[in-house]
Structure 1
Amino acid sequence: MTRRFVVEADGGSRGNPGPAGYGAVVRDADTGLILVEAAEFIGRATNNVAEYKGLIAGLRAAFELDPAAAVDVRMDSKLVVEQMSGRWKIKHPDMQPLAAEARAVFPRDRVSYAWIPRERNKDADRLANEAMDAGRAGRSWAPRTAADPVVPAAPVEEPLPAPAAPKAGWGADLGTPTTLVLLRHGETALTPQKRFSGSTGSDPELSEKGRWQAERAAEALAARGTVQAVVCSPMLRTRQTAEAAALRLGLEVRVESGLREVDFGDWEGLTFGEVQERHPADLDAWLASSKARPTGSTESFASLAQRVAVARDKVLARYAGRTVLVVSHVSPIKTLVRLALGAPPDSMYRMELAAASFCAVQYYADGNASLRLLNDTGHLR
Structure 2
Amino acid sequence: MSRRLTVEADGGSRGNPGVAGYGALVRDTATGALLAERAEPLGKVSNNVAEYRGLIAGLEAAAAIDPGATVLVRMDSKLVVEQMAGRWKIKHEDMRRLALQARDLVTAIRDAGGSVRYEWIPRAENKDADALSNDGMDGLTVDRRHDGGGASSDAAGDDAADEGPTGGASAAACAPVPRRAGTPVRVVLVAEARSDAARSTTAASVQRLLGGAPRCLVTAPADDAVETAAEVGDLLDVGSVVDAAWSPTGEVVDAWDRVVARGGTTVVVCPVEVVQAVLAHVLGIPDERRARLAVAAGSLAGVEVWGDDDVSVAFTNRT
Q: TM-score, normalised by structure 2?
A: 0.44
Q: TM-score, normalised by structure 1?
A: 0.37
